[in-house]
Structure 1
Amino acid sequence: MKSNIILLSFLLCLTTGAISAQAKNAPKSIISTTAIIRKYHDQKELSGMQKGELLELYIERIKVLVKTLPYIALVTKPGVTMADLGIPDDSDHKKILDNQAIGTTTFLDTTVEFQRKMMPYSDKGNLIAAILFYESTLKSLHEFNDL
């Protein structure tokens, strides 16, 4: 029984290693695949929410905008890779994309920390207006490719 558990654990480790090795070679998306909005809201709906819920929506929209806006000249939707755009998938380009992702993560960590400390003091109406503005900006990105 004990040997079966050890064998199963060993096979699980090998499988995990093989899967992670494949993930390193997989093409990376230029825009993070987490840069999506689950649902858009209207003013009436937002007015019925508590300030804590509004703050989470506000932060979510900031994250999506920061993960999307720097790349709109290349792409406006998550999931598109360098290879899809004809950009060489070499080590130099991968390094630049990785460094950009690290910089974005660092910026977002600092920004979210600030938002969580300071935005609870904001006016609820201003928070709602900001969420609606961010959402309209995100909706316009879907129309960007039509220009």
Structure 2
Amino acid sequence: MKNTTILLSFLFFLTTGAIFAQAKNAPRSIISTTALIKKYHDQKELSGMQKGELLELYIERIKVLVKTLPYIALVTKPGVTMADLGIPDDNEHKKVLDLQAVGTTSFLDTTVEFQRKMMPYSDKGNLIAAILFYESTLKSLHEFNDLN
């Protein structure tokens, strides 16, 4: 019984190690896979929401734009890797992509903190207009993609 437990534990650790090793070497998406909008809204729908809900939508759209716009000359959709674009998947390019991801995360952390403290003082109508503008910009990325 003791030998079976030891053998199963050993196999578990080997399997876990193999899974994590594969994830580390897997190609990363240039645009974060979290850069997606679940639902677009119209003015009537937004007008019926509370300011707190609007603020969350506003922040979500900012995050998606920041994670997408710097890359539109390369790609406009999440999930595309360097290898998909013919960019060498070497250490130099991976390091540049990692540094960009760290910078983006740092910028977004600061921006979201600012938004949560300052935007509650904004006018509800301005929040709605900004959300609609951001959504329009995101929709235009689909048109941009069609031009290529």
Render the CA deviation track for 1:97-139: whole Å, top value 9, x for unaligned. 0000000000000000111111111100000000000000000
Distance in 1 of aligned mates of 2:12 and 2:58: 40
Query: SS at the partner of 1:89?
Result: coil
Aligned to 1:108: 108
Change in 2 beyond 3 A, CA 1:60/1:10: farther
2-structure distance, mates of 1:128, 1:70? 25
**What is the percent sequence identity of the aligned residues?**
90
Give per-residue Cα distances to partners, 1:48-85, cap 9 Å, x unaligned: 00111101000000000000000000000000000000
Partner of 2:96: 96
Unpaired runs of 5+ residues, structure 2, are none
Corresponding residue of 1:61: 61
Structure 1 segment 63-78 matched on structure 2, within 5 A: 63-78=63-78
Give the secondary structure class of the aligned counterpart of 2:134: helix
Q: 1:128 to 1:22 in 2, by over 3 A?
A: same
Amino acid at match of 2:101: A
One-letter amino acid of the counterpart of residue 74, structure 1? L
- Tell me the residue number matched to 2:30: 30
- Where does residue 84 of structure 2 map in the other structure? 84
The letter of the residue matching 1:14 is L
Letter in 2 for 1:120: P
**Is residue 119 from structure 1 mapped to residue 119 from structure 2 by the alignment?**
yes
Shift of 1:3: 8.2
Q: Distance in 1 between matches of 2:7 and 2:47?
A: 57
Q: Aligned residue pairs: how many?
A: 147
CA distance in 1, matches of 2:113, 2:2: 47
Q: Structure 1 pair 107/7, CA: closer, same or farther in 2 (3 Å)?
A: farther
State TM-score, norm by structure 1.
0.92
Query: Once superposed, what is the RMSD of the aligned Cα atoms?
Result: 1.8
Please state how far the C-alpha of 1:20 moved relative to its aligned partner: 1.4
Shift of 1:146: 2.1
1:113 and 1:64 mapped to 2: Cα distance? 16
Q: Is 1:16 aligned with 2:16?
A: yes
- Structure 2 vs 1, CA of residues 122 and 95 (structure 1 numbering), >3 Å: closer, same or farther? same
